[in-house]
Structure 1
């Protein structure tokens, strides 16, 4: 008997010492279901607690307490989810729950609190939290607590079946994106990072004038600031009835709205390029783009747009520009020939990937499944230890032919050379099949801005996702994955042409290969030209000797 008493006492002590995280102590049905203690504004203005109560619950005499104070809840009859805040006006912009103000001072500590709700007789709900991340809300479900970014989306990977797709690259097809805008009959949902294309602006205004529903969503804080040219164009759009919203302010749920796409009627245009002359206008950058017709994917992209366009961090252009200062942007007016024409293909399948929701894991899963080849074109990769690069290393170690083509533009060259050298040393040590080159545009384009991957010659990824951890985890990015040898083969041809034109350093083995190739070329009467002091091949894209050199390492 004594043993039983001792055991019961020990159990009672353990239960009393167990920290409370969340709970519903009695049968009233009231629960604390969410806490937002650390808003991204000075003074944590707008913090709130959400309580769930049964229908027609009389809150007269109820109180809310933290570790330092107790305040009375308003004498109201409520149902469902209700929020309480000492700054109800600001809190109403942060939650869809009905918000009631609290009399008295109740400050939710960022470091943690124990919160209880009492009905005047006993505690009916309680919750504890620790170390509240800035801008994140704590949610409780089945007594489990999770933190998530306030208003953050959680889109799954959305897929579509076979369908026709139109593939193209820039600058070769410069102007095509604006032509697609100009063809709209019913709607244009345009998402971008920057926007300074007069051609695109004219297409949007003309569409609005003929009754098309035109909505534009852009980033408010691009690197280097928003240009005066962009501000003037957005003024024009707004003055002509186009609805323009800017992702900005303390409630922004992503670091940058970096996506580049448009939903036009029942089609979707997914791009790697910005809406400006250097990008969609074809005056500078190597970019990739695709026009999709799969109904499910178009609807999913429209849903992504509306989720971002309708969130509280998307403010009207008129409101955003008040007191805003703009920078002087540069002008780009290059002209390039058309090496690759747009083509129509049948994709056997497609998927929509978005960051930060699912793109990183989705891309890495595809890289980890590669069996023969992975060919990547990117402005940069952020360093040799980024998640995507680690996936490339794993692929190369198992024998996959991995080729990484990076930008040689002045702002990226130094970092990309360092990354290339690091990866080359690693590949030598690991005896892995990974090659890196910095692009040499020649007469094709001015600089690389594309963000694309071709996997096993059967799948291609096209979109705005830069290959660094920050882009994948903090930005809004949109990528489309297309299955099928048709679309993948198109971008593979472009990649191989740009790869053959790229700069590389002559190792001893490569020098020997080049020497043999020169001898062979001389014997067959063909000519290979070498320009510069670092052994740069300037052979034509279709030169079989150049192709042989390229395939040899």
Structure 2
């Protein structure tokens, strides 16, 4: 076995280890399509909805009353008119009460709202996930809401929002469907039940589990081809069993990095474990590059720079992206591991909200994703260590104060879960 093969086998064994079996599972035989804009994503989603024959499910944080929202809504209405069962989950804060909701109900679309009030049955948590499943054949996951690429709270962006989503087909679709069904039932708690059991189109994930176990067994017995086969895992974070699933996925990959860690996120306020993982990686010679979003929440613009000191001193390269709204939550490690999803690297996403990411191992789309992150890094304003250290004391104090205020508020909202 060559050095490269040994490294690949070790990488596969780590990612598919027993420790993480209960958190997420890798499956092979999946096709993946990467979208780099809302326009691409909406066109593909509407095409699949228009071809649906049985079931369409959609979950999103924002469903906007704009052209993008109207186009997707029209496709959902066309589907239900054909006799397709359509179920939609929107968030109570992310999406306001829209007129189209009444049109959905009148047409037969089933619609449920997650946590309709700021503090509700599920505390302060939101469903921040962006998911769709079509006929148990295609699934979608990413950071793209149902909203115009150029709109940012009523302001017209100079360029399309920087964001990503993936279309999946294969065994992993079952995991996405199971996650949606769980959320659908969870919202229903306390509501009057329907006369018949809510099991239409229920997924039997046993075949997926069997395939995952066989892949692990082949890797454990030294079959390098099994480790080298492209794999996908759907990773959902909730407040029941998978409280740290997405964070652990990041920690596993960064902890095994040997050459490169590329990470882009709009709200970079992770806890100590993730920050230490990035620092340790940089200290052992890994090229760690971080692209941070700006100009959406003022408190974060002031608080996030407080974290730069320890990262820069360890050798992490940091750049702030201001070309347009950076909304993508993506990462690539050593060109063979990557993630696309809804989870920000902040307290709300990592500890409180319902989130969903897809992890890709050895898929060819990783080259495209890596190129996009490197391009964003090149277009961003790099944080120079010398200039950062020479900031006025007043600016340093504002950064410290904003960070301490953010940290105190997040510890309160997460009941001490944020570190």
Normalising TM by the smaller chain, what interval? 0.5 to 0.7
In the other structure, the counterpart of 1:306 is 181
In the other structure, the counterpart of 2:248 is 361
Structure of larger gyration radius: 1
Q: Matched residues in 1 for 2:175 and 2:252: separation?
A: 21
Q: Offset of 1:251 from its aligned partner?
A: 3.3
Q: Offset of 1:495 from its aligned partner?
A: 1.0
How far does the alpha carbon of each residue in 1:301-320 deviate from its partner, in whole angstroms, 9 at most, with x for none? 1111111101255688xxxx
In the other structure, the counterpart of 1:289 is 165
Q: Matched residues in 2 for 1:279 and 1:388: separation?
A: 32
Confirm or deny that 1:220 pairs with 2:73: no
Contact 1:246 1:315 in 2 (8 A): no
In the other structure, the counterpart of 2:46 is 178
Q: Offset of 1:365 from its aligned partner?
A: 1.5
Which of 292, 296, 321 is residue 439 of structure 1 equivalent to?
321
In the other structure, the counterpart of 1:191 is 59
Aligned length: 313
The alpha-carbon distance between structure 1 residues 174 and 163, as it changes in their structure 2 partners (threshold 3 A), is closer
Confirm or deny that 1:484 pairs with 2:362: yes
Which of 289, 293, 299 is residue 407 of structure 1 equivalent to?
293
Please state which structure has a larger fraction of its residues in strand.
1
The alpha-carbon distance between structure 1 residues 410 and 464, as it changes in their structure 2 partners (threshold 3 A), is closer
Contact 2:312 2:318 in 1 (8 A): no
- Partner SS state of residue 180, structure 1: helix
Confirm or deny that 1:248 pairs with 2:135: no
In the other structure, the counterpart of 1:136 is none
- Partner SS state of residue 460, structure 1: strand
Give matches, 1:119-138, under 5 Å: none
Q: Matched residues in 2 for 1:155 and 1:205: separation?
A: 37
Give matches, 1:486-525, under 5 Å: 486-505=364-383
Which of 471, 478, 485 is residue 349 of structure 2 equivalent to?
471
Which of 390, 398, 418 is residue 284 of structure 2 equivalent to?
398
Give matches, 1:57-206, under 5 Å: 156-171=23-38, 173=40, 175-176=42-43, 177-196=45-64, 197-206=69-78
How far does the alpha carbon of each residue in 1:176-218 deviate from its partner, in whole angstroms, 9 at most, with x for none? 3333333322211111112121111111111111121111112
Which of 259, 267, 282 is residue 372 of structure 1 equivalent to?
259
The alpha-carbon distance between structure 1 residues 508 and 368, as it changes in their structure 2 partners (threshold 3 A), is closer
Contact 1:274 1:280 in 2 (8 A): no
Q: Offset of 1:499 from its aligned partner?
A: 1.3
Q: Matched residues in 2 for 1:439 and 1:208: separation?
A: 41
What RMSD over aligned residues (CA atoms) do the two structures have, in Å?
Answer: 3.0
- Partner SS state of residue 285, structure 2: coil
Confirm or deny that 1:233 pairs with 2:108: no
Unpaired segments of 5 or more residues in structure 2? 1-20, 192-227, 389-419
Q: Matched residues in 1 for 2:352 and 2:311: separation?
A: 30
Higher relative contact order (CA 8 A, sep 6+): 2
The alpha-carbon distance between structure 1 residues 172 and 347, as it changes in their structure 2 partners (threshold 3 A), is farther
Q: Matched residues in 1 for 2:365 and 2:315: separation?
A: 25
Contact 2:295 2:301 in 1 (8 A): no
In the other structure, the counterpart of 1:264 is 134
Q: Matched residues in 2 for 1:162 and 1:351: separation?
A: 12
Q: Matched residues in 1 for 2:360 and 2:163: separation?
A: 16
